[in-house]
Structure 1
Amino acid sequence: MSFGKRVVTGYILGFKEESNLQGVKDILDVLDEEPLFDEKRLRFYRWAASYYCSPLGEVLKLIHPAGLNIKDQRYISITDVGMEFLQKGMEDRVRVSDILKFISEKKVVSFKTLAKSLNIKNPYNMIAQLKEQNLITEARQIKGGIKEKKGVFVSVRQGIGDDITARLKKSAPLQAKVVSFLSDKGEVPLSLLRKELGNVDSSVRRLGEKGIVSIWEKEVDRNPFEPADKREISFEPNKEQSDAISLITAAVRKGKFSPFLLHGVTGSGKTFVYLNVIKEAVNGGKRVIILVPEISLTYGLIRYLTGIFPSKVAVVHSGLSEGERYDQWKKIRDGKVDIVIGARSAVFSPLKDIGLIVVDEEHDASYKQEDGVRYNARDLSVMLAKMLDAVVVLGSATPSVETFYNAQHGKITLISLEKRVEGRPMPYVELVDMRNLSSGHESRGHPAQRGHGSWRVPSVRGHGERVKTQDSSISERLKSVLSDAFDKKEQAILFLNRRGFSNFIICRDCGHIFKCINCSVSMTFHKRENAMRCHYCDLSVPVPNLCPKCNGYNMKDIGVGTERLEEDVRRIFVKIRIARMDRDTTQKKRAHESILNAVESGMADVLVGTQMVTKGHDFPNVSVMGIISADTSMNIPDFRSSERTFQLITQAAGRAGRGDVKGRVIVQTFNPEHYCFRSVLNHDYISFFNEEIKIRKEAFYPPFCRLVNMRIEGNSEKKVVHAASVLRKIADKHLKPFKGDIILLGPVSAFLSVLRGKHRWHMLVKGSNVKSLHGFIKTISDEFRQNKITGIELIVDVDPQTTV
């Protein structure tokens, strides 16, 4: 419909027989033959918009692939009158002549191109004047979004026998090969003929002219899958798995809302439980959504699922092209698939008859959208299952504190898998105390509880108080364990949650640290590019020869990232084959799959990477997991920092010893006495939870309250500080009726005080009653926005995963 000077796409959410509204505009066209969603889904979208304090229109944009909406393009061409004007060359109207000349040279030009090329700030008024004078004419083109992909297909016509093939062998041998191939294969795409027989286009055309073959176009699927071998679930479940499968399957058959937490140690076979329950659900006529936190985790599951359910699986994630995403979405909408697997956006898939939703690694922060509609796909999955009377299974070896607390209090049914499959032992964990690390001087410490070791390092001091440190990110103990594994032809994974070569570059003459001009963070050194890059806004600049502050040239890179770790491994173990998996190495399409295949096939001896390498991968020959800097996430000033550290390290540790080889985990830390690391030593989630829940209760943080982060952003620091003060005054004004149910913290400058050029202040709002909290947030947000402070944006983040 028309909206001002544009044509926009809207959504019809209901009908009224009559309306008292004046000036209601007509609908220009209806884009969809069938509704995009039914009443139940619309209720779900309305709930999401309300809960996450977002406009309903923004939520509705999430339900279909980007690029599906139509685009309104306005084009201008010159008239005969305009050509006459141009030929007269009227000197008093030079600007008009310039515009007409540009249009006449281009024949047809869009508004956007005209404004950009001639630097016209507001082209609409100028265009309107020229149209009134009949100097130009305007045309509008409504362009559709993504189109179906068409392919050319060929088949032999009925009644074509061997006698025709025999005649063709003498006069046109290539045509004979085409007919023979088609007779054997039936209908095939022309692309396959080219692949098998070479350049056959002219031969196919002549065969078509002779009436021997049929040639036509039809829609083809942009299939993002590699062909999968047919599979069956051949393993027998153990008793824990069998009990879990029976319990969940019974709930699916009842067709009532049932939430489960599948809490199983790493290697306990949670995926096997998923597959069995999914199979039962599909065989019972139900459809399934499976959420995974990382793109890399979809590949293994996809291979399994497409092998078990050929042509019945769709995938949804950001690694697909626009066309592939559209084709997958269309198959889901048209009811051609039974299973959807994908990252967080898969929760909005238009799948019908949903009976089961699986959220793997439910604790993962990747399920939280950090811009636009700031939803948590795990929580939306629970609500969607509730509204559709479906079963939802949240799976994790390290559940979020909130989820496990809910399970303890009966809101979610807890299912535990306490043992690894086939009686495999949990990996042996050792701590390396890095505080007093010295080059070549390490010694064993006292063993920790339950037979696990702690690796202690004495202090060696010289030259005053400076501590000598080793020249590698890998401790002597880790080197020894890796060497032993490589000698046995076993594999290893090294985890470091920081990409790049080093954390920052410092001038050793004046102490200057190179920081991002857009963000309040230091820039990371990337050696292969010889550049410094900001990992928040992606600004990249070459490494300068001189310090910009003192003109000194004595600069040093400090810290270690995955790029440097890879170099260290290559230097220490010269003959070892290394794969690296981080954002820098996974930019290309299917790069994740290629790297994982290299490890799985034994083409790589060691996998180096960020948290991508810690999640859900199952490599039977990996015997060693080295955690290079276990304290990285612990140092973030956030109430979830200990939880995240425990989850990351436990998940990483779980990658070792999943096959016949025993697993060893070496954790390098500067804080070995922390309860997080004590719990990791013994794979003891309950111990960690009991310590963490006491701290959360004392500080009144989730799960004992609900949390909303209200953030003020803007280009002007002065305006941001003022706006934050206005927000607090409005909040104080409305606080009294809530009688202590709501607590305000701040506003204060955010830990990342400047991000992508925006200054940031925030105020945390805590509340024990969800309804009261949301009412309070809506009231103060609406009043704040009525102030219309220019250059200021208020961002409301409900249930934030981080407060930095």
Structure 2
Amino acid sequence: MPYFIEVILPLAVPRTFTYAVNEAEYQFLRPGMRVAVPFGKNKLYTGMVKTLHQNPPLLYAAKEIDQILDDTPIVTPYQLQHWQWIAEYYMCTIGEVYKSALPSGLLLESETIISAQQGYSPDTGDLTDDEYLIYEALQNQSALKVQEVTAILNKKTILPILNRLISKNVISLQEAVSEKYKPKKIRYVRLQEEFLKEEQLNELLELLSRAQKQREVVMQYFQLQARDRNKPITHKALLEASGSTAATIKSLVDKNILEEYYIEEDRVSFTGSATAGFALSEKQQEAFLAIKAGFETHPVTLLHGITSSGKTEVYIKLIEEYISSGKQVLYLLPEIALTTQLVHRLTAYFGNKVAVFHSKYTNNERVEVWQQVLQGSDKAQVVIGARSALFLPFESLGLIVIDEEHEQTFKQQDPAPRYHARDAAIVLAHAYGAKVLLGSATPSIESYTNVQSGKYALVEMKERFGKVLPPEIVLIDLKDKYKRKQMTGHFSDTLTEAIAETLVLGKQVILFQNRRGFSPWVECMTCGHVPQCPQCDVSLTYYKYKNQLRCHYCAYHIAMPTHCHQCHSTDISTKGFGTEQIEQELKMLFPAKNSWRMDQDTTRGKHGYEKIIDAFKNREIDILVGTQMLAKGLHFDNVGMVGILNADNMLYQPDFRAFERAYQMMVQVAGRAGRKNDRGMVYIQTYNPLHNVIRQVTENDYEGMFREQLYERHNFKYPPYFRMVRIILKHKDYEKLKNGAMWLYNVLAQQLNIPVLGPEEPAISRIRNEYIRTIMVKIPLGAALGTTKRQIQKTLDSMDAIAQYRSIKVTVNADPY
């Protein structure tokens, strides 16, 4: 009787593949286990077992698996179901979901191993110099890896040389899979048991009387043991305490006096703090009880609490209840910058029950968290992470907290799966029977609509913690200030005076400018030429610190030109401004104060965010300039003032969410001010102080903004009344792309009885030498969503069958928020 398994491959292929197994393997394997399988030209991939069955494939002969990589499943049945839902809803392949979900430390690709053929002896002139070097290396060792051959020859293209050696029967190639994850082992030392008796100990010290250094190490060992109350002693601690060398300790090991042993240890561990306890205020207690009541009637509750109302403390008490009942909790955050601050607060309270999972952690660290969550370990009762933490293998998930749920960073843009973590988390929670708490000071219009329709429960916190008043908002009319010549750089006199006053009081200042770099573009004042990226349809951004122009899309860069490339004029001026320019102006305006900026360019390393946030918290930085990563729920006690340098940048974006996002961003940034005792100040510089959104921010009128935006969305067929699917087509040949996009639009418009818009050129119509066209499908709420998406997919498959359009790259983005 033949036995087969269905395997998901970590590739963008639209289906699973069938592989043959023997009876013993069939009995051993379970869905969720990894297997190494051959695919394509003898390449081995890490496949995931989806199902087991006894039906041979009809279109091809099933290959046999190479090896089984797990003893027990590392992915739960809930996860496999969830992956399937993400693939169908967000219109991508399950292979792409699998590749995105698993830490790359668990996705092993095979490595090519090169070994010598038996019985070959080279004749003179038979091999070239490069070929002989490889042959010679294989005489000294049994096998070589590709990287080792590259290093021996000091060349990047080695494939032709290897092919020639294969044809001359000198070498053979095999594929091998090796585990990337290695547990962290710490080396410990202990005294052999026989020397622990007193009479033996005196003999030992007598024995070492001539080896003074070894005797000192043994004496130091006893001191450490007495000090640390018989805790195990690490090799490193003994080295440091005795001031001796590794050779001395090795001599003691060789003499069988000391014994070395290894203990596996977690790469990341936390300790609690005895002073982290707190009691909820009256308003927080009310919200806490209201959330619990909401969970009794609704699976999802929205906590609409103004900035600094103390939402985090409510989350902590709620989490405490769930983990004490043996459930796991997932705490999702939109930014890695936020996790660093929150991890301190949660680990102080919960100690080593907290695990952290996001992309700045190493492969090995992420694999460890994965295993802890899968085993239901005490060390992973609360998982804090960015959107990828959603894919962890929870055993008993009880609660998902999604903080700052309105944030656009919860939506994955590239690569596929282009999922929205908030929506996918609600589906995941439903599978586990878990509850979801959405928290925000400025909820997304979709979530608030779900509250209005009775789908979600609503809890409101309208008062700041400690009865601190909301910040006072002052509008500065830039048009008027420029007219009266009351501007210094990009700072009005009002803003400069406010910063000076705040600093005199010993308070800190946050300034918000949602553009990085020095200037968004440079322009020749003689002929108006603006240097463009040769590969993308954008102007180059100027970075003064590096004195270069950079493209934010493809990283192309050139030195800052001294004269215009078009007319050779030397009159070149920078236009617009970014965080780098603001930082420079601050250093001129307040030379005695420490200014710093926080944007994508200054937070590249693993601890980039942490260093800046800690320095600001410890008051080493007086003025912090930042992009939107500053606007997310960071908590600083000493911020007296917040300045928004140009509110209009946010308002006039070609996006139906521009006004909603501008409102959210300004309210969130304003919320960083005056969080402890004093009322904070917020200064907003704008050319349009009478704009509706700016008035709504000043009056903190969320309801007004919500009603106005809902009316607009209804009129123009946008979410929440319509679901959207954006199809992006790319190709280097402009004509081919234009024809292909037109063909696709015509077919979709004929087949779907719903609005199809396009094909249009987006604002940036060329990136990395590829032209872009977009088609937008709007699906009304009443229409069958799944059926419509399947029809779109069918049309895309038939386009792929047309030879002339096959080379057009097509990406589908469902709910492109």
Q: TM-score, normalised by structure 2?
A: 0.88
Residue identity matched to 2:435: V
Change (3 A) 1:190 1:522: same
Contact 2:305–2:311 (CA under 8 A) maintained in structure 1: yes
Greater mean alpha carbon deviation, residues 241-250 or residues 555-564: 241-250
- Whole-angstrom distance in 1 between the partners of 2:569 and 2:57: 74
- State the distance in 1 between where 2:390 and 2:175 align: 36
- Equivalent runs, 1:308-347 vs 2, <5 Å: 308-336=349-377, 337-347=380-390
> Does residue 201 of structure 1 match 2:235?
no
SS state of the match for residue 64, structure 2?
A: coil
* 2:110 is equivalent to residue 66 of structure 1: no
Q: Secondary structure at the match of 1:328?
A: helix
Higher mean C-alpha deviation, range 632-641 or range 149-158: 149-158
**Distance in 2 between residues matched to 1:80 and 1:210, nearest whole Å:** 44
Matching residue's letter, 2:314? V
Residue 260 of structure 2 corresponds to 215
Q: How does 1:691-730 map to 2 (within 5 A)?
A: 691-730=708-747
Select which of 296, 317, 329 maps to 1:288: 329
What amino acid maps onto 1:294 in structure 2? E
**Residue deviations 1:612-642 (CA, integer Å, cap 9, x gap):** 1111111111110000111112222110111
Deviation string 1:473-526 (CA, Å, 9 cap, x unpaired) is 111111111111111111110011111111111112221111112221111111
Pick aligned residue for 1:8 from 38, 45, 49: 45
**Corresponding residue to 1:512 among 525, 529, 534:** 529
Query: Are the equivalent residues in 2 in contact too, given 1:77–1:104 (CA < 8 A)?
Result: no
Tell me: CA distance 1:756–1:550, structure 2 relative to 1, closer, same or farther (3 Å): same
1:771 pairs with 2:786 = yes
**Within 5 Å, which residues of 2 pair with 1:208-247?**
208-223=253-268, 229-239=273-283, 241-247=284-290
Match of 1:104 in 2: 135
- Equivalent position of 1:426 in the other structure: 470
1:383 matches 2:432: no
Aligned amino acid, residue 799 of structure 1 = D
* Corresponding position of 1:42: 80
Contact persistence 1:233–1:276 (CA under 8 A) = no
2:216 counterpart residue number = 173
Number of equivalences? 756
Partner of 1:182: 225
Partner SS state of residue 299, structure 1: helix
1:482 alignment counterpart: 499
Match of 1:447 in 2: none
Query: For the Cα contact (< 8 Å) 2:515–2:579, is it kept in 1?
Result: yes
Aligned pairs for 1:612-761 (under 5 A) are 612-735=629-752, 738=753, 742-761=754-773
- Per mean C-alpha deviation after superposition, the further-off stretch among 210-219 and 285-294 is 210-219
In the TM superposition, what is the alpha-carbon distance from 1:272 to its structure 2 partner?
A: 1.0
Q: How does 1:244-323 map to 2 (within 5 A)?
A: 244-249=287-292, 258-323=299-364
Q: Which residue of 2 aligns with 1:444?
A: none
Give the 3-state SS of the residue equivalent to 1:11 in structure 2.
strand
User: Which whole-Å CA distance do the structure 2 matches of 1:366 and 1:45 have between them?
Assistant: 20
SS in 1 for 2:66: coil
CA distance in 2, matches of 1:622, 1:556: 35
Maintained 8 Å contact 1:155/1:187: yes
CA separation in 2, counterparts of 1:237 and 1:18?
63
Pair 1:781–1:192, CA change in 2 (3 A): farther
Change (3 A) 1:153 1:660: same
Aligned ranges 1:514-553 → 2 under 5 Å: 514-553=531-570
Distance between the aligned counterparts of 1:382 and 1:71, measured in 2? 33
Q: 1:118 offset after TM fit, Å?
A: 7.7
CA gap 1:621/1:99 in 2 versus in 1, 3 angstroms: closer
Q: Which piece of structure 1 moves more, 522-531 or 187-196?
A: 187-196
Displacement of 1:734 in angstroms is 1.3
Structure 2 contact 271–352 (Cα < 8 Å) conserved: no
Displacement of 1:675 after TM fit? 1.4
- Paired residue type of 2:762: A
Q: Distance in 2 between matches of 1:658 and 1:605?
A: 16
Contact between 1:502 and 1:560, CA under 8 Å: does it hold in 2?
yes
Amino acid at match of 1:363: H
The Cα of 1:71 is off from its aligned counterpart by 2.6
- What value does the CA root-mean-square deviation take over the aligned residues? 2.5
Aligned equivalent of 2:613, options 593, 596, 601: 596
- Tell which deviates more after alignment, 61-70 or 617-626: 61-70
Q: Deviations over 1:590-612 (max 9, x none)?
A: 12111111111111111111111
Q: 1:20 to 1:530 in 2, by over 3 A?
A: closer
2:237 maps to 192
Q: Which amino acid aligns with 1:746?
A: G
How far is the alpha carbon of 1:400 from its aligned partner?
A: 0.8
CA distance in 2, matches of 1:49, 1:553: 54
Rounded Cα–Cα distance in structure 2 between residues aligned with 1:204 and 1:248 = 59
Q: How far has the Cα of 1:228 moved from its partner?
A: 5.0
| One-letter code aligned to 2:757 | L
- The answer to whether the 8 A contact 2:272-2:352 is kept is no
Partners of 1:620 and 1:661 within 8 A in 2: no
Against the structure 1 CA distance between its residues 759 and 191, is the aligned structure 2 distance closer, same or farther, given a 3 Å change threshold? Answer: farther
1:757-776 deviation digits (Å, cap 9, x = unpaired):
32111011001132343233
Helix, strand or coil at the partner of 1:637: coil
What letter is aligned with 2:652?
A: N
Deviation of the 1:136 alpha carbon? 2.7
Question: In terms of mean alpha carbon deviation, does 348-357 or 187-196 score higher?
Answer: 187-196
Distance change in 2, residues 1:195/1:287 (3 Å)? farther
In structure 2, how many angstroms separate the alpha carbons of the residues matched to 1:119 and 1:236? 62
Structure 2 gap ranges (5+): 1-36
Q: Shift of the alpha carbon at 1:557? A: 1.2
Match of 2:799 among 765, 784, 787: 784
SS in structure 2 at match of 1:745: strand
Q: Does 501-510 or 359-368 show the bigger shift?
A: 501-510
> Tell me, what secondary structure is at the counterpart of 1:67?
helix
Distance 1:471 1:517, change over 3 A: farther
Provide the secondary structure at the position in 2 that maps to 1:632.
Answer: helix
Q: 1:231 to 1:213 in 2, by over 3 A?
A: farther
Gaps spanning 5+ residues in structure 1: where?
91-95, 439-458, 461-467
Structure 1 residues 111 and 206 mapped into 2: Cα distance closer, same or farther (>3 Å)? closer
Q: Secondary structure at the match of 2:555?
A: coil
1: CA distance between counterparts of 2:187 and 2:298? 47
Counterpart residue type for residue 181 of structure 1: L
Q: Deviations over 1:724-781 (max 9, x none)?
A: 112112212312xx4xxx2111110011111233211101100113234323322222
Residue deviations 1:25-63 (CA, integer Å, cap 9, x gap): 111111111112232221111111100011111111222
Worse-matched range after superposition: 7-16 or 781-790: 781-790
Q: Which amino acid is 1:103 matched to?
A: I
TM-score, reference length from structure 1: 0.89
SS at match of 1:615: coil
Worse-matched range after superposition: 355-364 or 751-760: 751-760
Asked if the contact 2:294–2:301 (Cα under 8 Å) also holds between the matched residues in 1, the reply is no
* Mean Cα deviation higher: 325-334 or 761-770: 325-334
2:104 is paired with a residue whose SS is coil
Aligned equivalents of 1:244 and 1:258: distance in 2?
17
Is 2:131–2:165's contact at 8 Å kept on the other side of the alignment?
no
Q: Contact conserved, 1:432 with 1:667, CA < 8 A, in 2?
A: yes
The answer to whether the 8 A contact 1:730-1:784 is kept is: no
Change (3 A) 1:123 1:260: farther
Q: Is the 8 A contact 1:502 1:564 kept in 2?
A: yes
